[in-house]
A and B are shown apart, each in its own frame.
Chain A
Amino acid sequence: MTNRIDTRLADLRKQGRAAFVTFLMAGDPDPATSLAIVEALPEAGADIIEIGMPFTDPMADGPAIQAAGLRALKGGMTLRKTLDLVRGFRAGDDHTPIVLMGYYNPIYIYGVETFLADAKAAGVDGLIIVDLPPEEDEELCLPAMAAGLNFIRLATPTTDDKRLPAVLANTSGFVYYVSITGITGAAAANAARVGEAVARIKRHTRLPVCVGFGIRTPDAARDIAGAADGAVVGTALVEALAKSLDAGSRATPATVKAVADLTASLAQGVRAAARAAG
């Protein structure tokens, strides 16, 4: 089945460059600003947009993304409103892939089948659910694939060759390689080691491999983009957003621009990469 993610990654492959994947939290700091930010991302150079689904207990996230989730929840964000955000974005952009990323409980409480139908209808293309390893595929992964959504799996430095086939078995869209053992925003990724890991994963799959965690600057984005099919940046964008807020954590006239500007400079980094992965 062809979908926006496959199409976009195939196009970029033809252009000979890696994808730039951005992550921001839905509803951070409020639903209207969040929509304006997401709408500004494609023009600023984002190829694939990941949108975080806020959760009170984000066990794999560092302080910046934890705070973003809490700001969004404080602003009244819910999973239903996250789908509204995607629908709002889709009204003006039918091409840029949207991937929702987060934790399972809000989806489980929404109801898996209803959620998948509503997400598909809203224009969501894929899901990344941090706390659903292959051992729990029956929960959401298999139903999501049946509903025509990509289920993008995280592979990590601890996912060895013995385990990779299990991790890749029901993965689609792309593989998200977590470049460090750790939480989001913690440490910097080493491009050489990332290159080896990407090569190792590619021995097991033909899916594109995008790399995230620890990429904060245009130079780092360039290095990683040279070693993989895509580079994901989250914490740095979330921090730029946070820095633009007023003392009460409310959006200011500078907020959308702060995120768009950093997106543009990171995108330049990605586009400057010598294409290595293939």
Chain B
Amino acid sequence: MTIQKPNSFRSGPDERGHFGMFGGRFVAETLMPLILDLEKAYAEAKADPAFQREMNGYLKDYVGRPSPLYFAQRLTEHLGGAKIYLKREELNHTGSHKVNNVLGQIMVARRMGKQRIIAETGAGQHGVATATLCARFGLDCVVYMGAVDVARQEPNVIRMEMLGAKVVPVQSGTRTLKDAMNEALRDWVTNVHDTFYCIGTVAGPHPYPMMVRDFQSIIGVETRAQMQEAEGRLPDSLIACIGGGSNAMGLFHPFLDDPSVEIFGVEAAGHGLDKLHAASLTGGRPGVLHGNRTYLLMDADGQIQDAHSISAGLDYPGIGPEHSWLHETGRVTYLSATDEEALSAFQLLSRLEGIIPALESAHAIARVIDLAPKRPKDHLMVVNLSGRGDKDVPQVGDILKSRKTT
């Protein structure tokens, strides 16, 4: 298929939620009226200066933005190539980029008069951010989390419960992120009258992929200004990890129309691309799931396949539809990193920079390890450090300990 290059990579989606052939609104009729209401409410909020002002206030004083753009000197020296900057999203309140989006959606939910918030979560970062803002605004919060993820991300489960959220372990299907999303959709279809579904990534039916991208774009907007201040010019390359792809989209979107900026997304290659993995663009093809058309891991009959990643936040057999489009148009290059590569990168960054990254973000660092040495020393590379690794410390600790003893 030849894809025509658009005049701008930043103009999507169209009014029906399509990025090229991707996106759309593939949902049950019960949800359709609410999705249309949401689209309208979001458009009104976006155009309302008071909404923007209020959001900016919370972003500054509650989330702690802007997040720093930090020159990783020792990592740069160690790799001996590009000058590496880390966009420190892990310093946000709640420990990841997820809060940027949740704040925006909760404010839209409040405008719509919704009192009950539901969310799906993989690693628990989106769940924690949602539980946090529900506590702040006095809203009921129910978080669906695959039973497998409840076990491997226990610190986040405890946090959500402390914040007053109800965490529902999902036992259906593969008991990971996709099943949590199925269960959240089932809740939404049942409680549609009073419930707002706060989706954690740039996926789902229109307008979610656009709305979540807009709320996350602050990452790229700040990076542009901060790099200008630090180096007096644009970065030469951007790198971010991708599960659904919200941290990546937030960093990438403001740079999509700057052709000098190389952009790399890093999917989770799990045990390897020829084994169980979660790299939908590399190993999947277009299909329809969870409200949108996008690249999915599936079998010949269109049944969704199990994804695997060491990182619960990347363990999803799909990807946001705008990434599928950026992949097909060639604007963004999508790579992958295995569990092992992510584990090594996790340890490297911890020791060289004193920053323990989330296992998700460690996938991006893993590709920096090969890309940076091949670039000249004046090449400016920005890595989105989307989350901090505190939640992963028990899991990684167990893995490393078991290796020492065997």
Q: Which residues of A contact B (CB under 8 A)?
A: 54-63, 66, 73, 78-80, 103-110, 130-136, 153-160, 163, 167, 178, 181-183, 186
Asked if A181 meets B189 with Cβ closer than 8 Å, knowing A56-B173, A57-B178, A106-B302, the reply is yes
CA distance A131 to B27 in the complex (A): 4
**For residue A133, which residue of chain B has the nearest CB?**
B32
Closest A residue to B285 by CB, please name it. Answer: A109
Which residues of A are found within 8 Å of B244, using beta-carbon distances? Answer: none
A61 and B173 alpha carbons, distance in the complex (Å): 13
CA distance A167 to B36 in the complex (A): 14
Question: Do A109 and B302 touch (CB < 8 A)?
Answer: yes
**A59 with B290: CB separation less than 8 A:** yes
Contact B287 A108 (CB under 8 A): yes
Which residue of chain A has the shortest Cβ distance to B171 in the bound complex?
A63
Interface code B26-37, partner A: CB below 8 Å = 1, 0 otherwise? 111111111000
Measured between C-beta atoms, what is the minimum distance from A154 to chain B in Å? 5
Q: B144-173 interface mask toward A, CB cutoff 8 Å, 1 = contact, 0 = none? A: 000000000000000000000000000011
Whether A181 and B301, one on each chain, are in contact in the complex, defined by CB atoms closer than 8 angstroms, is: no
Is there an interface contact between B26 and A182, defined as CB atoms closer than 8 Å? no
**Chain B residues at the A interface, C-beta cutoff of 8 Å:** 16, 24-34, 172-173, 178-179, 182, 185-186, 189-193, 287-291, 293, 296, 298, 300-304
Question: Do the beta carbons of A109 and B173 come within 8 Å of each other?
Answer: no
Rounded to whole Å, the gap between the CB of A63 and the closest CB of chain B is 7
* Residue from A109, A136, A182 in contact with B189 in the complex, judged by beta carbons closer than 8 Å: A182
Question: Given A60-B186, A63-B172, A133–B302 Cβ distance below 8 Å?
Answer: no
Question: What residue in chain B is nearest A187 (Cβ atoms)?
Answer: B190
Chain A residues with CB below 8 A from B303, complex form: 54-56, 73, 106
Identity of the chain B residue whose Cβ is nearest the Cβ of A183 in the assembled complex: B186
Cα–Cα, bound, A60→B186 (Å): 6
Q: In the assembled complex, which residues on chain A have CB atoms less than 8 Å from the CB atom of B302?
A: 55, 79, 105-110
Q: B193 — nearest CB in chain A belongs to which residue?
A: A181
- Are B186 and A178 closer than 8 Å at their CB atoms? no
Q: What distance in Å separates the Cβ of B27 from its nearest Cβ neighbour in chain A?
A: 6
Q: Judge whether B288 and A108 touch: CB under 8 Å.
A: yes
Check A156 against B173 for contact (C-beta < 8 Å). no
Q: Tell whether, in the assembled complex, residue B33 and residue A66 are in contact, meaning their CB atoms are under 8 Å apart.
A: no
Q: Give the complex CA separation of A153 and B185 in angstroms.
A: 20
Q: Which residues of B contact A55 (CB under 8 A)?
A: 302-303
A162 to chain B, nearest CB (A): 9
Main secondary structure of the interface of B (DSSP, over half): mixed
Assess A158 versus B192: contact at CB under 8 Å? Given A105-B302, A133-B29.
Answer: yes
The smallest C-beta distance from A98 to any residue of chain B, in angstroms, reads 20
User: Could you say which residues of chain B place their CB within 8 Å of the CB of A160?
Assistant: 33
Q: Which of A78, A107, A131 contacts B28 (CB 8 A)?
A: A131
Given contacts A59-B186, A73-B303, A136-B25, contact A178 B30 (CB under 8 A): yes
- A131 → chain B closest CB, angstroms: 4
Going nearest first, the 9 A-B pairs with the smallest beta carbon separation are A109-B302, A106-B302, A182-B190, A156-B30, A78-B301, A59-B185, A133-B32, A56-B304, A131-B26
B-side contacts of A130, CB under 8 Å:
28
**Which residue of A78, A103, A104, A163 is within 8 Å of B33 (Cβ)?**
A163
CB distance from B364 to the nearest CB of A (A): 28
A135 in contact with B30 given A108-B302, A181-B193, A186-B190 (CB within 8 Å): no
Partner of A60, one of B189, B293, B301: B189
Q: Considering residues A73, A155, A157, A182, which has the most beta carbons from chain B within 10 angstroms of its beta carbon?
A: A182
8 contacts between A and B (CB under 8 A): A59-B186, A108-B287, A109-B301, A110-B302, A135-B25, A136-B25, A156-B29, A181-B192
Q: Closest residue of chain B to A159, judged by CB? A: B29
B residues less than 8 Å from A66 (CB atoms) = 172
> Across the interface, which residues of B come within 8 angstroms of A159, CB to CB?
29, 32-33
Q: Are B182 and A153 within 8 A (Cβ)?
A: no
Q: Is the CB of A153 within 8 A of B29?
A: yes
Cα distance, A163 to B302, chains bound together (Å): 31
Chain B residue numbers with a CB within 8 Å of A132 are: 26
A105 and B25 form a contact (CB under 8 A)? no
Task: Give the Cβ gap from A62 to chain B, nearest Cβ, in Å.
Answer: 8
Q: Which of A57, A78, A108, A163 has the most CB of B within 10 A?
A: A57
Q: Which residue from chain B places its CB closest to the CB of A132 in the assembled complex?
A: B26
What is the CA–CA distance of A156 and B29 in the complex, to the nearest angstrom? 7
Q: Which residues of B contact A154 (CB under 8 A)?
A: 28-30
> Which residues on B sit within 8 Å (CB–CB) of A136?
24-26
Q: Which residues on B sit within 8 Å (CB–CB) of A79?
A: 301-302
Give the nearest-CB partner of B302 in chain A. Answer: A109
Q: What is the CB-to-nearest-CB distance from B350 to chain A, in angstroms, rounded to a whole number? A: 37
B190 A135 Cβ-Cβ under 8 A: no
A110 to B296, CA, bound (A): 15
Q: Which of A54, A107, A109, A182 contacts B298 (CB 8 A)?
A: A109
Known A55-B302, A106-B301; 4 more pairs at CB < 8 Å: A61-B186, A158-B31, A160-B33, A167-B29
B173 touches A57 (CB 8 A): yes
Q: Which B residue's beta carbon lies closest to that of A108?
A: B288
Provide the bound-state CA to CA distance between A181 and B34, in Å: 12
Q: CA of A65 to CA of B291 in the docked complex: distance in angstroms?
A: 20
Q: A181 to chain B: which residues have CB within 8 Å?
A: 30, 189-193
